[in-house]
Amino acid sequence: MRVEQEQRTIEDARISAEQDITAQKSVADVLQVTRTFPVAARETYTFGA
């Protein structure tokens, strides 16, 4: 039972880390677009809303 709980905890942590990485990549993509195309990015993305 304890081993199964530890395995679940590890799996949950792995999933959370993967989600964090995906979110960070998305932010990096947006930042790259805003750096490359600042005017177009302002028209495409709503910041702070």
What six digits make up the tokens of 5? 């709980």
Q: Rounded distance, CA 17 to CA 6, Å?
A: 16
Rg (Cα) of the chain, in Å, rounded?
A: 18
Q: What b/e readout covers 3-42, taking b as 16+ CB neighbours within 10 angstroms?
A: eeeeeeeeeeeeeeeeeeeeeeeeeeeeeeebeeeeeebe
Q: What is the pTM of this model?
A: 0.62
pLDDT for the residue numbered 21: 95
Running along the chain, 49 residues long, what does each successive block of 10 average in pLDDT? 94 96 91 76 59
pLDDT for the residue numbered 22: 93
The set of residues, in sequence order, having a beta carbon less than 8 Å from that of 41 and lying 6+ positions away, is 30, 33, 34
- Structural domain boundaries of the chain? 23-49
